[in-house]
Amino acid sequence: MLDIAAIFLIRHGQASFGSADYDQLSQLGCCQAQVLSDYFSDIGIRLDAVYSGTLKRQRQTAEIATASQPAGIPFHNDPRLNEIKNDEQFKFLLPQLIKRNPPTAGLVEKAKTDSKSYQKVLEQVFQLWVSGDHDIPAMQTWDNYSDQVKAAMQDLIRREGSGKNIGLFTSGGTIATIVSQVLGLDGSFAYHFYEPVINASITRLLYNRKKVSLSSFNDYSFLQCKPDYHSESLVTYR
């Protein structure tokens, strides 16, 4: 049984990209969450508390992945752990990107149906957002988002104290933000942790009341050990 207390940052399972409601797990995403649940059970991880953002895909992942845990685990939903507001950034920053670099318009059109193109556009939007090289009062700033995530983590540690295993079910942007903060890096590095985060992967933090350190990042080995789901790999990015 794993007996070293940690915060397990878990990205939600695959969402329903291209469907009418993106914010729900696909069938593959549900399978990923179940494999995660089995993995926790197999290696003896018992969670003392569960935290999640309020997005549906985050909560669904938490519910499936903790089904094998003992009954009565406290669940906390915190909107500060929600994903970066990509839709908001696209709305306000895409026109600026296209104005600065007109060929971006073709990539944006392709991104509507192609996940790889979407990621390329997302990176450009993300870096512009983090840079602060814009003046859009209606849009949440990187500094504001980063501060709210930091405050959520501080409140979690203050509430739970040391010596507990905590499951934190969230999204790639939130995980990237937390990892950057733990490593003492500024926002310009965050996307390097954002892009590679696999659905249902585990990033493990060791912690006490005074210190948080990164133990492992983006572990999805337990997904690689399982058969494909209806000929689809369980290892997915989006």
Domain-wise residue ranges, the chain: 7-80+150-224, 86-131
Q: Per-residue confidence of the chain (238 residues) as pLDDT tens digits?
A: 455 689 999 999 999 977 878 899 999 999 999 999 999 999 999 999 999 999 999 999 999 999 999 999 999 999 999 999 988 998 999 999 999 989 888 988 888 888 788 888 889 999 999 999 998 989 999 999 999 999 999 999 999 998 999 999 999 999 999 999 999 999 999 999 999 999 999 999 999 888 999 999 999 999 998 887 766 899 998 7
Residue 8 pairs in a beta bridge with 167, 204
- CA nearest 153: which of 129, 170, 140? 170
Round to whole Å and give the CA distance between 126 and 232.
Answer: 29
Round to whole Å and give the CA distance between 9 and 238.
Answer: 17
Query: Which structure tokens are listed for 227?
Result: 């058969």
Compute CA distances 177 → 28, 171, 187, 226, 236, whole Å.
Answer: 26, 10, 8, 29, 20
Would you say the pTM of this structure is higher than 0.85? yes
Which are the contacts of 56, defined by CB distance < 8 A and separation ≥ 6? 23, 24
Burial of 238 (0-12, 13-18, 19+ CB in 10 A): middle
CATH class of 7-80+150-224: alpha beta
